Chain A
Amino acid sequence: MRRDAAVLFGQLGVDLDPDRPARGLSIADQQIVEIAKALSTDARVIVMDEPTAALSASESERLLDVARRLRDGGAAVVFVSHRLDEVFALCDRLTVMRDGATVRTCPVAGTDAGEVVRWMVGRELTDLFPKTGTTPGDVVLRVRGLTTDGVFDDVSFDVRAGEIVAFAGLVGSGRSEVVRAVFGIDRYDSGSVEVLGSPLPPADPRAALARGVALVPEDRRQQGLFMPASVARNTAVVVLSRLARRGVVRERAERELAAHWAQRLQLRHGGLDQPVERLSGGNQQKVVLAKWLATDPRLLVVDEPTRGIDVGTKAEVHRLLSEQAGRGLAVLMVSSELPEVLGMADRVLVMREGRLMATLDRGEATQERVMLAATGQASVAGEGSAA
């Protein structure tokens, strides 16, 4: 068995000790072992799904070499990637998919990155997004040089009152990690976060809350809601101190608060005592929004605010965010949906592999420019107002 493994590693052109436990290996080497495992069954077709997503540039290069060897050995390789440069370096033919359907299949030699990005983007921008013109006010959030080793690096930006700033980029580019660090869920290694001119202590969500920062998290079922608890309890959980008199939570005030927000957000529910696990995804997201808007924040951070909810509710969420921004709330929105980003944002920050690649003002942000920056085809330095 050991000899077989050594032979396989030899075929792949890597130098690995077959006796080492897989646990201690680098992610790149673990990928190699995974590929060797596939080869050991004499696989003729090998599908690699984002094999380089977690790898450094040189590690990726080695993996591409392995893929080429497999191809030259007569295997068929399906390579799923959002890194266009790798696609062009490795592949013979490519297929572009969008919204679950095939857009185009063609030889790589006959096309270029710009064309592929246009296929990926495809649709025209609709006027679905109600955008009320606003004059940005004071800087509410100032982030400078925020760094967590291996996750994101030297991220700096501002968000002003009345402004919607969008964080665009591919899944895994570090956007959620940045906003988690800003809110204090995770620690960061260096850099600074200021809210309304004074520094926010790191890793302290309570301090962030007290200073008027609210975060609508990415995963509403795990992070946003207490699923077995009622609509009323979920809505009130962050503002309990305000609803309590001598430590005892006034149930009436709690219900009034929940009823107010349910009406305001047109929540479709079966009573305020209904557990939120029985609501639809869109209505659950409304409860999460209600819960955070009830804190009366100065800065609202929303992470994928419309993921997995129906089109109608989506439009309502967009209207709500625009309306709140119109009243002077600073909004920072992480979104993987380009139309949403371009339709909603006053400014677009594009991240790739943990770095801020571009800052685009509303006028200069197009689907192509955002995608090019997000996939690393070009670094577009915008004349945005952030430093």
Chain B
Amino acid sequence: MSRVLSWDRSVFVLLVVTVAVGAVIDPDFAGGSNLGFVLQDIGEIMLIALPMTFLIMTGEIDLSVASTAALAGCVLGWAWQASGSMAVAVLAAVGTGVVCGAVNGFLVTRLGLGSLAVTIGTLGLYRGLCYALLGDTTVADFPAGWTNLGFSSIPGTPLPYVTPLLVVLAVAFGVVLHLTRTGRWVFAVGQSVEAARFAGIPVARLKFRLFVVTGAVAGLAGIVYDLRFASARPDGALGFELAVIASVLFGGVSIFGGVGTMWGVVSAVLFLGSVRSLLQLQGVPGNALTIITGGLLLASVVIPVVAQRWSAFRERRSRVLAAATP
């Protein structure tokens, strides 16, 4: 526990090293326009990773986030066509996310089902609803004023419009997790659900709200995604849940709950984005980049176990050696 190089610090160091190495081997990598590209590339992942951190900290998980984002994106397109008002469409999309999250939360906290099984189910269900809503078509006639938000930069900077949203939400989620009563409860529930109940923490209500917030933010990510590609498609955000969960775990959140930091997760998302961008600049095909996501995911669950066995082994060895020396 008292190790100087904790997991989240290591990830941050890794991020800095990656950026430095990238800048040396490829001048384009450190350029401002590439920074903008990275932020845009990982925008939705970062957004969803924020509430996912809370969920995994409490020992739950939501695998349906990418489907939720896609469904919200489809509702955005459908509601835009139906109402002709983007404000209405945005509200409908976020509302869709809230409902999706509430369904997950209800099934997990009221019916007591496992979140892994429940959200695998809703992963399929919500994706199916996308096709039911839009069929094989796409909605691509969003007003230009809105889609410009998706792929142009804030004037005078290389940063995409999603940047302030990311910063504000990352800070807000970080503050709630590390400084407030709700955050303390999240840690407590992850460390021992039973002790949390004895301490009067409303475990079910807390988890339900976390599922709802996760759904809402996934809905927001669905909007960001639509604007970035200037279209609503039923196969949007496919596979994003993997990148989100990989980032959260690689950022130092324990899959068993109770351990983690928000800045570790943010560092991990940025690291993931940097590596992807670096490889793309080196000409690695985009489809192969899931290897990185999968690798990170595996590394995050394997390394702590190996490290623990290694330190247990060393302790045992030093004890044996101490006993052997007269």
Are B198 and A215 in contact (CB-based, < 8 A)?
A: yes
Chain A 194-206 interface 0/1 with B at a Cβ cutoff of 8 Å (1 = within): 0000000000011
Residue pair A229, B191 in contact (C-beta under 8 Å): yes
Q: Which residues of A contact B324 (CB under 8 A)?
A: none
What chain B residues lie within 8 Å of A205 (beta carbons)? 197-198, 200
B188 at the interface (CB under 8 A from A): yes
- Render B223-261 as a binary contact track against A, CB cut-off 8 A, 1 for contact: 000000000000000000000000000000000001100
Instruction: Tell yes or no: B202 within 8 A of A by CB.
Output: yes
Q: Which residues of A contact B258 (CB under 8 A)?
A: 226, 228
In the complex, which residues of chain A have a beta carbon less than 8 angstroms from the beta carbon of B192? 222-223, 225-227
B200→A185 contact, CB < 8 A: no
Give per-residue flags for B195-237: 1 if the beta carbon is below 8 A from chain A beta carbons, else 0. 1111111100000000000000000000000000000000000
- List, in ascending order, chain B residues with CB within 8 A of A237's CB: 184, 188, 199, 201
A185 to B203, CA, bound (A): 12
Interface presence of A90 (CB below 8 A) = no
Q: Are B200 and A224 in contact (CB under 8 A)?
A: no
Q: Residue-by-residue, is A171-185 near B (CB-CB < 8 Å gives 1, otherwise 0)?
A: 000000000000001
A244 x B188 contact (CB < 8 A): no
Per-position binary interface string of chain B over residues 170-182, scored 1 when its CB falls under 8 Å from any chain A CB and 0 otherwise? 0000010001111
The reply to whether the CB of B26 lies closer than 8 angstroms to some CB of chain A is no
Is A209 within 8 A of B195, CB to CB? no
Bound CA span A226–B194, Å = 10
**Quick check: is A248 within 8 A (CB to CB) of the other chain?**
yes
Give the distance in Å from the alpha carbon of A215 to the alpha carbon of B185 in the complex.
Answer: 19
Q: Known contacts A206-B200, A228-B258, A238-B200; is A222 also within 8 Å of B194 by CB?
A: yes
Q: Which residues of B contact A222 (CB under 8 A)?
A: 192, 194-195
Q: In the complex, how many angstroms separate the beta carbon of A261 from the nearest chain B beta carbon?
A: 15
Residue of A nearest to B259 (CB): A228
- B291 CB–A CB distance under 8 Å: no
Q: Max chain A CB contacts within 10 Å: which of B175, B200, B258?
A: B200
A226 to B195, CA, bound (A): 7
CB of B199, distance to nearest CB on chain A (Å): 5
B4 to chain A, nearest CB (A): 15
Residues of A close to B187: CB separation below 8 A: 226, 229, 233
Q: Which of A217, A222, A226 has the most CB of B within 10 A?
A: A226
Contact B179–A249 (Cβ < 8 Å) = yes
- Taking CB atoms, residues of chain A closer than 8 Å to B201 are 237
Please, which residues of chain B bring their CB within 8 A of the CB of A136? none
Q: Which of B185, B191, B198 contacts A217 (CB 8 A)?
A: B198
A244 adjacent to B181 (CB under 8 Å): yes
| B191 partner residues in chain A, CB cutoff 8 A | 226-229
Residues 146-198 of B at the A interface (beta carbon under 8 Å): 175, 179-182, 184-185, 187-188, 191-192, 194-198
In contact, A209 and B200 (Cβ under 8 angstroms): yes
Is A241's beta carbon under 8 Å from chain B?
Answer: yes
Considering only CB atoms and an 8 Å cut-off, how many residues of chain B contact the other chain?
Answer: 23
Tell me whether A73 is interfacial, beta carbon within 8 Å. Answer: no
Known: A244-B180, A248-B179. A185 touches B188 (CB 8 A): no
On chain B, the residues within 8 Å of A291 by CB distance are 199
Question: A247 within 8 Å of B by Cβ?
Answer: yes
Determine if A238 and B199 form an interchain contact, defined as CB atoms under 8 angstroms apart. Answer: yes
- A208 and B188 CA atoms in complex are apart in Å by 20
B1 at the interface (CB under 8 A from A): yes
As a 0/1 sequence over residues 215 to 251 of chain A, the CB contacts with chain B under 8 angstroms (1 = contact) are: 1010000111111110001000110110010011100
Cβ of A233 and Cβ of B202 under 8 Å apart?
no
Residues of B with C-beta under 8 A to A244: 180-181
Q: Which of A249-295 contact B (CB under 8 A)?
A: 249, 275, 291
- Judged by DSSP, the binding face of B is helix
Q: Which residue of A lies closest to B196 (CB)?
A: A226
Q: Determine whether the beta carbon of A249 is less than 8 Å from that of B180.
A: yes
Q: How far is the CB of A360 from chain B (nearest CB, A)?
A: 29
Most A C-beta atoms less than 10 A away, residue of B198, B202, B259: B198
Q: Which of chain B's residues have a CB closer than 8 A to the CB of A217?
A: 198
For B195, the chain A residues whose CB sits under 8 A away are 222-226
Residues of B within 8 A of A248 (CB): 175, 179-180
Pairwise interchain contact A247-B180, C-beta atoms closer than 8 A: yes
The answer to whether B181 touches A185 (Cβ under 8 A) is no
When each residue 342-353 of chain A gets 1 if its CB lies under 8 Å from chain B and 0 otherwise, what string results?
000000000000
| Least Cβ–Cβ distance between B252 and chain A, in angstroms | 14
The minimal Cβ–Cβ distance linking A217 to chain B, given in whole angstroms, is 5
Between B182, B185, B194, B259, the greatest number of chain A beta carbons within 10 A of the residue's beta carbon is seen for: B194
CB distance from B47 to the nearest CB of A (A): 22
B270 to chain A, nearest CB (A): 26
Nearest residue (CB) in B for A278 is B1
Q: How far is the CA of A275 from the CA of B182 in the complex (A)?
A: 20
Which chain A residue has the least Cβ–Cβ distance from B179?
A: A248
What CA separation (Å) do A275 and B2 show in the bound complex?
11
Distance of A241 Cα from B195 Cα, bound (Å): 18
Q: Measured between C-beta atoms, what is the minimum distance from B70 to chain A in Å?
A: 33
- Chain A nearest CB from B177 CB (Å) reads 12
Name the contact of B194 in the complex, choosing from A223, A229, A233 (C-beta under 8 A).
Answer: A223
Report the bound CA distance from A227 to B182 in whole Å: 19
A241 and B188 within 8 A (CB): no
List residues of chain A with CB within 8 A of the CB of B194. 222-223
By a CB distance below 8 angstroms, the chain B residues around A229 are: 187-188, 191
In whole Å, how far is B48's beta carbon from the nearest beta carbon of chain A? 24
Contact mask for chain B residues 84-115; partner A; CB cutoff 8 A; 1 contact, 0 none:
00000000000000000000000000000000
Determine if B198 and A249 form an interchain contact, defined as CB atoms under 8 angstroms apart: no
CB-CB nearest in chain A for B181 = A240
New A-B pairs, 20, CB < 8 Å, besides A222-B194, A291-B199: A185-B197, A205-B198, A205-B200, A206-B202, A215-B198, A222-B195, A223-B192, A226-B188, A226-B191, A226-B195, A226-B196, A229-B188, A238-B200, A240-B184, A247-B180, A247-B181, A248-B175, A248-B180, A249-B184, A275-B1
19 A-B contact pairs sorted by A residue (CB < 8 Å):
A205-B198, A208-B200, A215-B198, A222-B194, A222-B195, A225-B192, A225-B195, A226-B191, A226-B196, A226-B258, A227-B192, A228-B191, A228-B259, A233-B184, A237-B188, A237-B201, A244-B180, A248-B175, A249-B180
Task: Give 4 nearest A-B pairs by CB, closest first.
Answer: A226-B191, A240-B181, A209-B200, A206-B200
